[in-house]
Structure 1
Amino acid sequence: MAESSPTAAEEFRQHWKLILAAAAGFSFTVVITSSTGLFIAPISDEFGWSRTLVSSGISITAILTFVFSPLFGVFIDKWGVRRLAIPGLALMVCVIASLSQLDGSTWMWFTIWTAYAVTALMTKSTVWTASVNSTFKAGRGLALGLVLSGSALAQAFTPMYAEYLIRVYGWRMAFIVLAVTWGTVAILLCLLWLKDGYEISRKMRDAAQAAGRAAGTLLDVPGLSVREAMRDPALWRIAISTFIIMTVTIGLVVHQIPILTEIGVDRRTAALYALPAGLAGIAGKLITGWLLDHFPARWVGGLTIGVTSLSFLLLLLPHAPTWAIVTALMINGYAGGTKLQLVGFLTAAYSGMRQFGTIFGIMASLIAAGSGLGPVVAGLIYDIWQSYAPGLWGGFLLTLLSAILLFGLGPYPDWAAEEGTAAPA
């Protein structure tokens, strides 16, 4: 008789340390994205660069992540999370700190961001999502919410922290302190506690190899192959919706400070506004995680993403009052902050875990493409029209389209019924 699966409560009691380590690791990977808006003005002023150029750093990362994410997804399936994440975090500390050495050379700028792209491939959402999905079943939605709340914490506190460091020590020292302080905590926690389903399966695979039996990927579970996933309509809907929402929301996050200063908010106040938005993001991830474990994800995701459109409308109000600005940022923090959680949950639900690393690596390519396109398009819109308004109107319409795509998803495949079979029915 097969053993009964653990309850959500039992999973959390056993693996809470993994959640804490993964959340810390993921939070560090979005520190640079969350603080870029504060570095745009001082770097532009010192070197005479356009906002499009200063925004291009994240876009360089996104382009390379788009190209190579599927390959790193294969690495996850073969090696697991721990062997990628910990070296990646250590390299990220070094690369972020090296931005302090910029001398006005655009080639140096492009080189450093190319190096950053390699570290990003080792530590992006694919890694942390795979870690949670390989470990949790009954409590997967909430576990994803807790881990991905690391990004909301970074978005809440990094702008204030970075603004203080830039104001007191200058932008060069700010890069160094951000990297060393945040990165050290993330690395230590992951060294101690990042032990997930891949690590458990590694021991089983090693035992099988020692006994002379063949062993393939780390996780021997049902699900779609990569070829089957590429033909699956549900996964196509998830992919297109993800690309759209990442493009508009990352563009808003990166240019949030300039957008607010354009409507009359000073830089220090604009940085403070990130706190309630980040806290709302944490609430959104936790609430959405619970909802995903109890209700169809197409409804949870569609409603959550659809509400994000209101944030763009509120920022378009003439002489937007404080309540409208704070509400817009909180809505974007709450709803937009769940996008990685939703795509991670939906991909696992509709593809299974058989080759999740590779399949989600393809999703991560689209995440990277949207993340890279959004900031550059937003900067280009400003450079052309000297206003962010056209981009805000576009964001409003595109978030509605993204929500409609999720509403059209069908029921989940029953992967539990496929245990012991070679392929899904």
Structure 2
Amino acid sequence: MVQFSSAAASEWRSSWPLVLTAMVGFSFHSIATYSSGLFIEPLQNEFGWSRAEITGGLAIAAISTVPLSPIVGSIIDRWGSRRIAVPGLVLTACCLASFGTTGPSVANWIGLWCLYAVVGLTVKSTVWTHAVTGVFDAGRGLALAVMLSGTAIAQSLVPPLAQWLIASFGWRDAWFWLGFGWCAPALILALLFLRGPPRKDDPQPARSMEARAREAMTIGQALRNPALVRLALATLIMMTLGLAVIVHQVPILTNMGLERQTAAWLASLSGIAGIFGKLITGALMDRFDAARIGAITIAASAAGFVLLIAKPNLAMIMLGIVIIGYAVGTKLQVTAYLTSRLTGLASFGKIFGLMNSVVALGAGLGPLLSGLLYDLAGSYEPLLFAGVPGSLISGYLILSTKNAKSQKARGSNLHRIDESLPAEGA
């Protein structure tokens, strides 16, 4: 059982509705990612597009957000999450529904994804993470875990839901119901509970904005910070592999001989494992060395890839999917938690926006590269083989941040990473 400190318990008593709101809001942003694999075959059947062309829209959209994420992060630092998220939820629902209007032109399909990319920045992880980290300190790891479980909830529910909607109403109407049906509860919660809390890392709240700006880490300092650079590289590898597997999970499993409906439910099982991964890892990161916990968790996904490469029986396939789902489910949580401890909160939106550019790059490259590999090789084996060393390298890079020293700007209140992260056993 998780043991809360009195400070963490107080944070949870007063702010659990905010965490619930952020969790549901972040799950809404994850719909496009976790449903797109279910639309591959219907789009192939209707338009004759290749898998690379179909997933290319998601890839281009994700990569196109790379230069915009730090800008949006800076806006969130200035305006707060509520002003961005409330209109963003409505606009994102409209964009999701618009996918059902696509015609036979691939350019039209990619254009819709580019529109979604810009609008989707208003409901990405930076918005929700910014709100949660502004309130939680002692219980930040678990709070982020619960919030980021939204993506695992989407991973669990969206594949079978999308499959049912496509089978019952067709792929065009499925986009409409996924968009507006999921938006409704997220919007209601945001209107009720999403607020802009005061910064808790500021010992003198009355200080001027100019003084706080001098203390905030700049983009240039972040790019020269060894720990942040290593974390960014690990995040790129994690996101590329993770999104490649998630988007193509159903096709990967059907290529192993499983029926489409069974594959969809196994994808759901992977999402459930991701929920447990987030919660367990979040609780452990609050109590022990965060970098070490993150490294072990991410590196463990190598075992899941090995099981899938071996083409075992159904039970072993399920075990491999659970291991990968558990580990991959923590990827964004590890990045968000370590970034918040490295940068402090004054510049968190901006720097995590920069980190989100890396996330977007990996999210765009993963599905596209896996689609290209399948088109060239006729199987997903090259992707699965790449997952083994990729997982181990990511784990090593995260662990190495423990000993990397944070570079300080003159007059800054930033600390070395080993001083800013919880000590083991704390």
Q: TM-score, normalised by structure 1?
A: 0.91
Question: Matched residue of 1:135: which SS?
Answer: coil
Question: Matched residue of 1:224: which SS?
Answer: coil
Is 1:265 the counterpart of 2:258? The answer is yes
Name which of 332, 345, 354 aligns with 1:362. 354
1:76 corresponding residue in structure 2 = 76
Question: Matched residue of 2:401: which SS?
Answer: coil
Is 1:215 the counterpart of 2:209? The answer is yes
1:344, 1:333 → 2: CA distance? 18
Is 1:239 the counterpart of 2:232? The answer is yes
Cα distance change on mapping 1:412 and 1:146 into 2, 3 Å: farther
Structure 1 residue runs of 5 or longer lacking an equivalent are none
Cα distance change on mapping 1:110 and 1:392 into 2, 3 Å: same
2:96 corresponding residue in structure 1 = 96
2:414, 2:26 → 1: CA distance? 32
Name which of 380, 384, 389 aligns with 2:376. 384
Is 1:153 the counterpart of 2:147? The answer is no
Q: CA deviation at 1:30?
A: 0.4
Cα distance change on mapping 1:313 and 1:200 into 2, 3 Å: closer
Instruction: Describe the superposition over 1:45-68 as per-residue Cα deviations: whole angstroms up to 9, x where unpaired.
Output: 100100001001211221121121
Contact 1:81/1:198, CA 8 A, preserved across alignment: no
Aligned length: 406
Q: Which moved more, 1:240-249 or 1:78-87?
A: 78-87
Question: Matched residue of 1:293: which SS?
Answer: helix
1:350, 1:215 → 2: CA distance? 21
Q: CA deviation at 1:73?
A: 1.0
Contact 1:80/1:199, CA 8 A, preserved across alignment: no
Contact 1:226/1:355, CA 8 A, preserved across alignment: no
2:420 corresponding residue in structure 1 = none
Aligned AA for 2:75?
Answer: F
1:356, 1:66 → 2: CA distance? 17
2:214, 2:404 → 1: CA distance? 16
Q: CA deviation at 1:223?
A: 5.2
Q: CA deviation at 1:412?
A: 9.4
Q: How do 1:214-363 residues align onto structure 2 when only pairs under 5 Å count? A: 215=209, 224-318=217-311, 320-363=312-355
Contact 1:349/1:413, CA 8 A, preserved across alignment: no
Q: Which moved more, 1:358-367 or 1:127-136?
A: 127-136
2:380, 2:124 → 1: CA distance? 28
Cα distance change on mapping 1:216 and 1:188 into 2, 3 Å: farther
Cα distance change on mapping 1:142 and 1:72 into 2, 3 Å: same
Cα distance change on mapping 1:41 and 1:413 into 2, 3 Å: same
1:127 corresponding residue in structure 2 = 127
Q: CA deviation at 1:198?
A: 5.3
Question: Matched residue of 1:197: which SS?
Answer: coil
1:200, 1:188 → 2: CA distance? 27
Q: Which moved more, 1:78-87 or 1:338-347?
A: 78-87
1:301, 1:221 → 2: CA distance? 31
2:175 corresponding residue in structure 1 = 175
Q: How do 1:39-54 residues align onto structure 2 when only pairs under 5 Å count? A: 39-54=39-54
1:58 corresponding residue in structure 2 = 58
Question: Matched residue of 1:138: which SS?
Answer: coil
Q: CA deviation at 1:276?
A: 2.0
Aligned AA for 2:362?
Answer: G
1:187, 1:238 → 2: CA distance? 33
Cα distance change on mapping 1:199 and 1:184 into 2, 3 Å: farther
2:418 corresponding residue in structure 1 = none
Instruction: Describe the superposition over 1:95-145 as per-residue Cα deviations: whole angstroms up to 9, x where unpaired.
Output: 100111111112211221111001221111111111111111000000000
1:163, 1:372 → 2: CA distance? 23
1:131, 1:22 → 2: CA distance? 8
Q: Which moved more, 1:272-281 or 1:84-93?
A: 272-281
1:8 corresponding residue in structure 2 = 8
Aligned AA for 1:28?
Answer: F
Q: Which moved more, 1:148-157 or 1:58-67?
A: 58-67
Aligned AA for 1:361?
Answer: G
Instruction: Describe the superposition over 1:137-173 as per-residue Cα deviations: whole angstroms up to 9, x where unpaired.
Output: 0000000000000110000010010000111111111
Q: CA deviation at 1:200?
A: 9.6
Contact 1:80/1:198, CA 8 A, preserved across alignment: no
Question: Matched residue of 1:423: which SS?
Answer: coil
Cα distance change on mapping 1:20 and 1:112 into 2, 3 Å: same
Q: CA deviation at 1:422?
A: 4.8
1:198, 1:125 → 2: CA distance? 19
Question: Matched residue of 2:217: which SS?
Answer: coil
1:99, 1:278 → 2: CA distance? 24
2:85 corresponding residue in structure 1 = 85
Cα distance change on mapping 1:264 and 1:12 into 2, 3 Å: same
Q: CA deviation at 1:196?
A: 4.0
Q: How do 1:406-425 residues align onto structure 2 when only pairs under 5 Å count? A: 406-410=398-402, 422-424=412-414
1:399 corresponding residue in structure 2 = 391
1:412, 1:22 → 2: CA distance? 31
Q: CA deviation at 1:199?
A: 9.0
Aligned AA for 2:325?
Answer: G
Q: CA deviation at 1:411?
A: 6.0
Instruction: Describe the superposition over 1:345-386 as per-residue Cα deviations: whole angstroms up to 9, x where unpaired.
Output: 000111212211111111000000000000000000000010
Cα distance change on mapping 1:346 and 1:199 into 2, 3 Å: closer
- Moved segments of 4+, more than 4 Å: 198-201, 219-223, 411-414
Cα distance change on mapping 1:282 and 1:76 into 2, 3 Å: same
Aligned AA for 1:52?
Answer: A
Identity %: 43
Q: How do 1:19-38 residues align onto structure 2 when only pairs under 5 Å count? A: 19-38=19-38
1:71, 1:362 → 2: CA distance? 8
